[in-house]
Amino acid sequence: MHRTLSALGASLALALALAAAPVARAAPVELRVWRLDCGDLRMNDASPLSDAGDYAGQSRRLVDGCYLVQHGADYLLWDAGLPAAVLGKPLDAQPISPTLAADLPSQLARIKVRPDQIGRLAISHYHFDHVGQAATFPKATLMIGAADWTALHAAKTPFGAEPALLAPWLTGGGAVDPVEGDRDVFGDGSVVILAAPGHTPGETALLVKLHDTGPIILSGDVVHLQAQWDLHAVPSWNTERADSLASMDRLSRLAKTLKARIIVQHDPADVGVLATFPAASR
């Protein structure tokens, strides 16, 4: 009884001391996002962008964005773009023709970031145009939707995946953090991986609550073009049609409640939303 009372007294004294002290508010952690150029894709046949025929007989130019997120002293790279094998490749008449103007290490060097400073490589999904240069960061912990990680271990390689691009983690013993549901990456709500399955089983998007720019959501491939929100266009190569529509609905509703801007990573019209590299958005 006596001990309980003195413990109570001690906590009361502490509470009073805290109440009397000026409100100490921790300075918000430095948060910056750079958009990196991870390639261009010419879809000479854009019809796979909709299983309802919205793009039949059409072509489209897509871009491929990667995003470096700095949270205090930590760096997270969101997506790893097209493989360096297509550096300088001329666009051709293939149904999907990819090319890359500059690789990630050369762009990172311009902002004085070494590949080994990137502690987390978070990928929206396993497609080749999102993991192309992943192996440049073999020491990073790979964060990937758990269902995508499982799919990569299936006997049949999933459509659009090239497991060799993820060799440091699939066979090399690199650290993997399979993400189930949403994940608050740094524990302060500022950078959150959002579950958005449908394009692939473990597709994700990324919410970053920038201080000056306001919250942004990096789309992954939940859509490929802004026009797809209104069309409800589900690409024919998506793994689950109903999940795809549900994930589009989730992201657009989240953007409304958070007053967030969704950046569609493949849409050329969204390249200019963030600061032009090497500048960063804050």
Binding site for Zn ion (CB under 5 A): 127, 221
CB of 238 to Zn ion, least distance (A): 9
Provide the 10 A C-beta neighbour count for residue 223.
27
CB-facing half-sphere around the CA of 3: CA atoms within 13 A: 0
* Helices and strands of the chain, counted as H and E runs: 7, 12
Are the beta carbons of 196 and 183 closer than 8 angstroms?
Answer: no
Are the beta carbons of 128 and 161 closer than 8 angstroms?
Answer: yes
Are the beta carbons of 161 and 129 closer than 8 angstroms?
Answer: no
Rounded CA separation 138/173 (Å): 9
Rounded CA separation 94/63 (Å): 16
Q: Which is nearer to Zn ion, 103 or 221 (CB)?
A: 221
Q: Which is nearer to Zn ion, 18 or 96 (CB)?
A: 96
* β strands within 15-162, DSSP E: 31-43, 60-71, 74-78, 96-99, 118-122, 141-145
CB of 231 to Zn ion, least distance (A): 17
Q: Which is nearer to Zn ion, 175 or 246 (CB)?
A: 246
Q: Which is nearer to Zn ion, 71 or 127 (CB)?
A: 127
Q: Which is nearer to Zn ion, 120 or 127 (CB)?
A: 127
Q: Which is nearer to Zn ion, 55 or 75 (CB)?
A: 55
CB of 221 to Zn ion, least distance (A): 4
CB of 156 to Zn ion, least distance (A): 18
Rounded CA separation 190/29 (Å): 9
Provide the 10 A C-beta neighbour count for residue 17.
9
